[in-house]
Amino acid sequence: MFSTFGLVFAVVLTAGGGWSVADERRGSEAAAEVRDVEHRPGRTLLTIQFTTGGGEACEATLVRSGRGRSATVGERIPVRYAKSDPCLRVREPDDQSVWVILLIAAVLLVAFAIMSYVAWSRPRPPLPLRYAGMP
């Protein structure tokens, strides 16, 4: 039973990850202005403002890892936004972290598919003799 629920979860996670990657590929790039910089251990949060290709003004928070170069208030940086919700899903153009989720989902899908196959393909015990002549 666990493997079947896990398989359903992995299928949903893989489909969602694939849709997310496709949606980000359909998005566009824009130049964003840095409004605020907040340094935290291991990462930097940038509050940015940009205008989409369709003319929608967006303000978003962009997370940069600690190894990235620093940004200053007023600087213009390139960003990539998703087509369906450009103000919520903003990344740097070279950020490949969305592929990590898709990779994890694919590994879970394969693992739970194997577990489900093993669980459901066990040989069934023979029917008792009293049911032998029944259709």
Looking at residue 1, what is its pLDDT? 66
CATH number at residue 112: 2.40.50
Q: Is residue 130 part of a domain?
A: no
User: Does a structural domain hold residue 16?
Assistant: yes
Distance (Å, whole) CA 29 – CA 98: 16
The answer to whether residue 135 sits within a structural domain is: no
| Residue whose entry in the numeric block shows the structure tokens 């039973």 | 1
Range of the domain at 54: 2-119
Q: Is residue 24 part of a domain?
A: yes
Number of domains in the chain: 1
What pLDDT is attached to residue 26? 80
Domain membership flag for residue 91: yes
Crossing angle for the helix pair 2-26 and 98-120, to the nearest 10 degrees: 150
In a domain, 132, yes or no: no
Note whether residue 134 is domain-resident.
no
Does 22 map to a domain? yes
Confidence of residue 101 (pLDDT cuts 50, 70, 90): confident
Separation of alpha carbons 18 and 21, rounded Å: 5
Residues 6 or more apart whose CB falls under 8 angstroms from that of 1 comprise: none
Residues 23-46 have a mean pLDDT of 84
Task: Locate 62 and state its tokens.
Answer: 């962009």
Arithmetic mean of pLDDT, 62-79 = 78
Residues 61, 71 contacting (CB under 8 angstroms): no
When pLDDT is cut at 50, 70 and 90, the band that residue 72 belongs to is confident
